Structure 1
Amino acid sequence: MKISVELTLTPIQDNYEPSIIHFIKKLRESEFKVLENPLSTQVYGDYDTVMRVLTVEIKEAFELIERGLLYMKIVKSDRYDYEPHF
C-alpha cells in the first residue's frame, strides 16, 4: 500500500535549526521520494517501509532535542505527482 506522509518537526528550544536539518537530511538519505517546503517535509512510499524508517528517524530526532512536537499527516495513496486542477 502506498502512502504520502507530511511531517513538521518543531523543536521547542533555542538553536532549533540544526535538529530540523539533521532530520531532513536523514529522510533524504532514505529510498523514498522526499519533497520539502518551508513548512513541512513530505515522504512518499510503501506503508510498511516508510513507517519502519520514520519510527527510527523520529526517535533519533526526539533524542537530539530537549522538547518538541512532530505533526504527521498520512494519506493512503501516493500523492507525489499531485497538481491542482483549478
Structure 2
Amino acid sequence: MDISVELTFSPLQDGYEPHIIRFIKALRDSGLTVLENPMSTQIYGHYTTVMEVLNKEMYNSLEGVEQGVFYLKMVKTDRSAYEPHF
C-alpha cells in the first residue's frame, strides 16, 4: 500500500533551523520520494518503508531538541505526481 505524508517539524526553541535541516536531509537520504516547500515536507512511498523512516527520524529529531512538535497528514495513495487541473 502506497501512502503520501505531509509533515512539519517545529522545534520549540531558538536555533531551530539546524534541527529542521538535519531532519529533511535524513528524509532525502532515505531513498523515498521527498518534496519540500516553505511550509511543509511531503514523503511518498510504501506504507511500511515510509513509517520506518519516519519512526526513526522523528525519534532522532525529538531527541535532539528540548521541545518539538510534528504536524502530520497522511493519505492512502501516492500523490507525488499530482498536478492541479484548473
Give the TM-score range, shorter chain. over 0.9
Aligned ranges 1:17-36 → 2 under 5 Å: 17-36=17-36
Shift of 1:31: 1.4
Structure 2 letter corresponding to 1:9: F
Q: Which residue of structure 2 aligns with residue 42 of structure 1?
A: 42
Structure 2 letter corresponding to 1:23: F
Structure 2 letter corresponding to 1:75: V
Aligned ranges 1:1-86 → 2 under 5 Å: 1-86=1-86
Displacement over 6 Å in runs of 4+: none
CA RMSD of aligned residues (A): 0.5
Aligned-partner Cα distance in 2 for 1:15–1:57: 19
Aligned-partner Cα distance in 2 for 1:48–1:18: 28
**Which residues of structure 1 form unaligned runs of 5+?**
none
SS in 1 for 2:13: coil
- Between the two proteins, the alignment pairs up a number of residues equal to 86
- With the length of structure 1 as denominator, give the TM-score of the two structures: 0.98
- How many percent identity over aligned positions? 60
Shift of 1:53: 1.1
**Which residues of structure 2 form unaligned runs of 5+?**
none
